[in-house]
Amino acid sequence: MNNPVSILVVVPTYNESQSVTEFFTRLDAVRQSLEAMYSITILHIDDNSPDSTAQIVRTLGLTNFSQIIRPKKIGLGPAYIEAFTWGLARNFDLFVEIDADNSHQPEDLERLLARATTENLVLGTRWMPGGRVENWAPHRRLISRLGTKYASMALKIPLRDITSGYRVIGRSALARVDFRDIQIHGYGFQIEIIAKLSALNVEIIEVPIIFTERREGKSKMSWAIALEAALMVTKWGISRLAGIGIYRR
């Protein structure tokens, strides 16, 4: 019998004490339900949350679990890069990105994994048949859809949810990314990773997901983070039109 596919589920947090108990309990239940097909390890990476997020997660007694506590809040991009580097050194086959605020449903993971290979990226997509967003005001929906449309057009990457943070990246694809060249620390990191993988001709598959607005805690999205992403996407778009590499500084 072949060994199960090894999967690292990376969960970055900062001040998510109100949501992590429910989230990690659900994620661990999914892990156990899939253990015949997949060997799933959960890696929690926390930016030294002052609300004791990391300590709460440790008390849950999860199995197949590791935790990295960083000295301070540095940003989503650096957190994922540290986690990816950790996982690549341990030879995981697939890498999962997921948010801990219960907006991403752990129960959707099986469908994403079913389409994943070590060579591709599977993108959890809200804006496609079968996908949906729950409990968002109309203006939030409009901003999200316009943002992903703008980024897709500027970078000429025809995806319906390029900003989605729920995804599975294959080891071979991820290993080709030069993390030293990453320019965005905030949520725009998700766009940048897709842009890099697209430039490497990595296959990207869209799978519908259900996104639910958080019930507890506070969103980490800010105007500064959104502006960082918008400015970089615009810069890359201009570079693309000028015929130079989008990562040229």
**Superfamily of the domain at 5-241:** Spore Coat Polysaccharide Biosynthesis Protein SpsA; Chain A (3.90.550.10)
Tokens in use for 102?
């219960």
Give the DSSP H or E segment for 231.
helix 223-241
Q: Tell which wins on pLDDT, 239 or 32.
A: 32
Question: Is residue 68 over pLDDT 50?
Answer: yes
Question: Is residue 173 over pLDDT 60?
Answer: yes
What residues does each domain of the chain span? Answer: 5-241
pLDDT at res. 248: 43
Question: Is residue 151 over pLDDT 70?
Answer: yes
Question: Is residue 219 over pLDDT 80?
Answer: no
Is the pTM for the entire model greater than 0.95?
no
Does residue 196 contact residue 204 with C-beta atoms inside 8 Å? no
pLDDT at res. 230: 75
- Average per-residue pLDDT for the chain: 90
pLDDT at res. 244: 67
Question: Is residue 241 over pLDDT 80?
Answer: no
Rounded CA gap, 212 and 231, in Å? 27
pLDDT at res. 183: 85
